[in-house]
């Protein structure tokens, strides 16, 4: 057997007794497996004992050669039970063994009649939350992730707890901040933005009269901006995989309670959960669910903090600058070298009906057995208000359709255009609206003007309400059980 004695033994003991030297353990473990020999079989048994046989054998699937990995796989299979299945599914993505080989063991342990690839075993795992992983899953994933980037130990380390299933957290293919956020980025005038085409999509925001445009052709490369608009600190978290750009307030009433001195700013952790971005706050290094705006691990886990969502709209640059000629817009001078051309970033993913990472959404392993209301990547506009949530397919706004509706107890009017993925929502109180965005009338005959803050008719103002666009799988995956769907 090709195991190292001294290097691995020291590393394992450092892992056990200091409980934090994970990177040293990983480096030593890989080195001893790949480059050194051990003559004494008893030393191998010692390492297994000190690391724990479950952790030792499952991590060996990834970092040892094929022969030793096979030995570990046989041990896992003979041990039986389903609590190491999560380890095996993770190992499938990286192991020197063939994925089919590990998949056969998963099949035997679970009693599944069909072998699957990593993607579909992940879907199976999501659909079977009753199968609980062995307690070593955190240590296992810590070793896995810190072997990719030592900075991952900020989010994965022994003893850390999650409000989400840790076995479903996957590496997104980049290191911490490998997708760099834009912090207080440079803006230019609309006239100076000669790089933009009228058909380019932008996130449009107005706060306290400060009007900004953030082109998606730039934001797709950064997925996050931390900025101050109209004197208000805000962060737009753009999960390209789930098609959702959500504008969060950086301030929260409980900041001081948790000794957070400054408004939240966020970065990209490099991790995904059900094909959704896990962001982290730079204040405490807590991981957050981008879709819900809630911390799921770290110092702020269990705090009850939930970020307030502000209105944001997707529209074309041509329409935005026509409505807001004094708007500011992102400069190409971001400090990062990327191809910010039109239709470049994530072009193939957006054009495909397939997901890049596994997520059940509203479906299931057996899609025919579930009521999949919409296609996985069909786009919806969703609202979350006190007392209710609801989603409207973007296609419902064909031809600039006006929709009078209700979310929970709140009467709303939605004014949209499917051609540009544009939807704005307002409290409609007792009014019913007809017409179009530029010729809006209420049932009492009044004319109304649309602004980013309100619908206005004389002295009457109806407030804008927050909402955002997302792919259906993401909306349904996080809110499907409670959300109504417009039909």
Domain count, the chain: 3
What is residue 12's predicted lDDT score, i.e. its pLDDT?
36
CA distances from 19 to 14, 15, 24, 114 (A): 7, 5, 11, 39
**CA–CA distance, 179 with 71 (Å, rounded to integer):** 38
Would residue 51 count as lying in a domain? Answer: yes
CA distances from 338 to 202, 221, 333, 475 (A): 18, 7, 10, 30
What is residue 98's predicted lDDT score, i.e. its pLDDT?
79
Q: Give tens-digit pLDDT for 236-249.
A: 999 999 999 999 99
Q: Are residues 427 and 403 in the same domain?
A: yes
Q: Are residues 38 and 146 in the same domain?
A: yes
3-state secondary structure of 433: strand
Q: Are residues 20 and 140 in the same domain?
A: yes
Q: Are residues 308 and 364 in the same domain?
A: no
Pairing of strands 266-273, 210-215: unpaired
Would residue 345 count as lying in a domain? Answer: no
Structure letter (DSSP) for residue 304 = -
Q: Are residues 162 and 208 in the same domain?
A: no
Tokens of 295: 């911390």
Would residue 66 count as lying in a domain? Answer: yes
Would residue 177 count as lying in a domain? Answer: no
Q: What is the pLDDT along the chain (487 residues), one digit of tens a residue?
A: 333 333 333 333 333 332 333 334 443 444 344 433 334 444 445 555 556 899 999 999 998 888 999 999 999 999 999 999 999 999 999 887 878 899 999 999 999 999 999 999 999 999 999 999 999 999 999 999 998 999 999 999 999 999 999 999 999 999 999 999 999 999 999 999 999 999 999 999 999 999 999 999 999 999 999 999 999 999 999 999 999 999 999 999 999 999 998 999 999 999 999 999 999 999 999 999 999 999 999 999 999 999 999 999 999 999 999 999 999 999 999 999 999 999 999 999 999 999 999 998 755 433 333 344 689 999 999 999 988 999 999 999 999 999 999 999 999 999 999 999 999 999 999 999 999 999 999 999 999 999 999 999 999 999 999 999 999 999 999 887 778 999 8
Would residue 335 count as lying in a domain? Answer: no
**CA–CA distance, 161 with 166 (Å, rounded to integer):** 8
Q: Are residues 241 and 385 in the same domain?
A: no
What is residue 27's predicted lDDT score, i.e. its pLDDT?
38
Would residue 45 count as lying in a domain? Answer: yes
Q: Are residues 325 and 414 in the same domain?
A: no
Q: Are residues 190 and 286 in the same domain?
A: yes
Would residue 424 count as lying in a domain? Answer: yes
Q: Where is the domain boundary, 171, 194, 211?
A: 171
What is residue 38's predicted lDDT score, i.e. its pLDDT?
37
3-state secondary structure of 277: strand
Dihedral angle of Cα 463, 468, 473, 479, to the nearest 10 degrees: -40
Cα torsion 287, 290, 293, 296: sign: negative
What is residue 332's predicted lDDT score, i.e. its pLDDT?
98
What is residue 328's predicted lDDT score, i.e. its pLDDT?
98
C-alpha closest to that of 321 among 223, 191, 232, 479: 191
What is residue 50's predicted lDDT score, i.e. its pLDDT?
58
Q: Where is the domain boundary, 171, 192, 226?
A: 171
Would residue 338 count as lying in a domain? Answer: no
Q: Are residues 126 and 59 in the same domain?
A: yes
Q: Are residues 197 and 313 in the same domain?
A: yes
- Owner of token pair 């030792």: 56
C-alpha closest to that of 312 among 203, 237, 402, 211: 203
Contact 372, 359 (CB under 8 A): no
Q: Are residues 390 and 308 in the same domain?
A: no
- Which ranges in 329-414 belong to alpha helices (H)? 347-351
Q: Are residues 289 and 378 in the same domain?
A: no
* pTM metric for this prediction: 0.88
**CA–CA distance, 229 with 226 (Å, rounded to integer):** 10
Q: Give tens-digit pLDDT for 2-12.
A: 333 333 333 33
Could you give the strand order of the β-sheet that contains 294-297, starting from the edge strand earlier in sequence?
169-171, 266-273, 277-281, 287-289, 294-297
Question: Which structural domain, as residue segments, surrounds residue 292?
Answer: 182-330
Q: Which residues, other chains included, contact 28 with Cβ-Cβ below 8 Å and sequence gap of 6+?
A: 4, 7, 8, 10, 11
């Amino acid at each position: 057997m090709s195991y190292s004695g001294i290097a691995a033994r020291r590393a394992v003991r450092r892992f056990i007794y200091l409980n934090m030297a994970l990177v040293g353990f990983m480096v030593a473990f890989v080195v001893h497996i790949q480059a050194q020999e051990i003559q004494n079989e008893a030393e191998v048994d010692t390492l297994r004992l000190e690391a724990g046989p479950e952790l030792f054998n499952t991590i060996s699937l990834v970092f040892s050669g094929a022969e030793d990995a096979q030995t570990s796989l046989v041990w896992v299979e003979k041990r039986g039970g389903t609590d190491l299945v999560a380890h095996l599914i993770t190992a499938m993505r990286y192991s020197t063994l063939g994925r089919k080989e590990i998949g056969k063991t998963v099949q035997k342990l679970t009693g599944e009649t069909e072998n699957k690839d990593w993607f579909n075993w992940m879907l199976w795992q999501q659909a079977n939350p009753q199968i609980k992983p062995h307690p070593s899953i955190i240590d296992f994933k810590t070793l896995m992730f810190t072997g990719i980037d030592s900075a991952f130990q900020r989010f994965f380390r022994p003893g850390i707890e999650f409000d989400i299933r840790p076995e479903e957290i996957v590496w997104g293919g980049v290191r911490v901040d490998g997708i760099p956020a834009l912090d207080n980025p440079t803006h230019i005038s609309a006239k100076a933005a000669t790089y933009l085409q009228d058909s380019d999509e932008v996130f449009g925001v107005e706060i306290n009269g400060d009007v900004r445009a953030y082109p998606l052709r730039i934001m797709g490369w950064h997925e996050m901006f931390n900025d101050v608009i109209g004197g208000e600190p805000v962060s737009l978290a753009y999960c390209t995989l789930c098609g959702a750009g959500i504008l969060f307030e950086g301030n929260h009433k409980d900041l001081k309670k948790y000794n957070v001195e400054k408004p939240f700013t966020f970065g990209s952790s490099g991790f995904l959960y059900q094909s959704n971005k896990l962001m982290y706050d730079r204040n405490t290094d807590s991981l957050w669910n981008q879709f819900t705006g809630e911390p799921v691990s770290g110092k702020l886990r269990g705090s009850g903090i939930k970020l307030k969502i502000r209105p944001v709209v997707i529209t074309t640059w041509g329409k935005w600058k026509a409505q807001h000629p004094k708007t500011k817009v992102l400069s190409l001078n971001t400090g990062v070298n990327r191809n910010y051309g039109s239709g470049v970033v994530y072009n193939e993913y957006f054009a495909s009906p397939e997901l890049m990472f596994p997520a059940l959404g509203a479906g299931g392993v057996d899609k025919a057995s579930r009521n999949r209301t919409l296609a996985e990547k069909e786009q919806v506009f969703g609202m979350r208000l006190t007392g209710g949530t609801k989603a409207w397919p973007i296609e419902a706004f064909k031809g600039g359709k006006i929709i009078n509706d209700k979310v929970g107890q709140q009467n709303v009017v939605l004014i949209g255009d499917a051609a540009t993925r544009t939807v704005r929502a307002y409290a409609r109180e007792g009014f019913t609206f007809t017409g179009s965005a530029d010729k809006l009338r209420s049932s009492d005959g009044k004319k109304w003007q649309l602004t980013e803050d309100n619908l206005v008719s004389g002295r009457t103002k109806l407030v804008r309400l927050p909402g955002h666009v997302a792919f259906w799988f993401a909306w349904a995956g996080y809110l499907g059980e409670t959300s109504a769907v417009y039909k």
